[in-house]
Amino acid sequence: MDLEKIVKMLIECCGVEGWWPSNDPFEISVQAILTQNTNWKNVMKATKNLKEKGLIDPKRMYEAPLEVLEDAIRPAGFYKLKAKRLKEFLEFVMTRLDGDITRLRNIPMEDARNMLLSVHGIGKETADTILLFALNLPIMVVDAYTKRVLRRLGFDMPNNYDEIRKMLEKASPKKDAKTYKLLHSAFDELAKNYCKKKTPICSKCPLEKYCKKLI
């Protein structure tokens, strides 16, 4: 089977609109860092704590003592590490973007990506998550679920992140942010709901026969 067809089915059958449960670019960026190798439910607890302390704000978070930040994000795990990473990110946002992450939309996406990658603690997946979900820019995000689903469907995967990303972008019917968001959500929903719980979520769509391979 070819990748273009699978990608199309994934988008149509399993894609979820509004999948990232936030609309605020800064909040999404923070969550992108908090979710590194971490259960999403724990990220939501950390987010709630940050909101209660009024820290979902670049200036306030930048100025908050490290211990306060650590305490708020503790449920998300790796909390000392991530508090430092958030600080590094905020240093970047405050000094290079005047406190406004959306300013990255004003420069070519490749340049924005490289700037994000220069921040200590932001790797390719986190950078691309910020570009796609926080800034609505057209770039595909590859994560552990993406690789797992593709592997189980029988595609032999390059293990280079950017090669996988470009492979998916090439196979996508449209090269826009909306489509990439749907595709990413589809991989994650499929991996979580089907691979794990083994409950079919596509019983009436053409993907069903491929879903059986995902168990």
Partner DNA sequence: AGCCAGGCCTGCC
Partner DNA sequence: GGCAGGCATGGC
Contact residues: DNA, CB under 7 A = 19-21, 35-42, 45, 74-75, 77-82, 120-127, 129, 133, 143-145, 159-160, 188, 192
* Residue 74 vs 103, nearer CB to DNA: 74
* Residue 66 vs 107, nearer CB to DNA: 66
* Residue 18 vs 98, nearer CB to DNA: 18
Residue 84: what residue type?
K
CA–CA separation, 78 and 68 (whole Å): 15
- Dihedral sign from CA coordinates of 182, 111, 86, 52: negative
CA–CA separation, 132 and 200 (whole Å): 28
* Residue 40 vs 52, nearer CB to DNA: 40
* Residue 23 vs 39, nearer CB to DNA: 39
- Minimum Å gap between C-beta 119 and DNA is 7
- Minimum Å gap between C-beta 191 and DNA is 7
Which contacts (CB < 8 Å, 24+ apart) does range 111-116 have? Answer: 112/137, 113/139
* Residue 78 vs 155, nearer CB to DNA: 78
The two tokens of residue 88 are: 């590094």
- Minimum Å gap between C-beta 193 and DNA is 11
- Minimum Å gap between C-beta 181 and DNA is 9
Contacts of 212 (CB under 8 A, 6+ apart): none
CB 153 within 8 A of CB 160: no
Closest CA to 59 of 21, 27, 93, 28: 93
The two tokens of residue 72 are: 């708020």
Residue 48: what residue type?
K
- Minimum Å gap between C-beta 206 and DNA is 25
- Minimum Å gap between C-beta 122 and DNA is 6
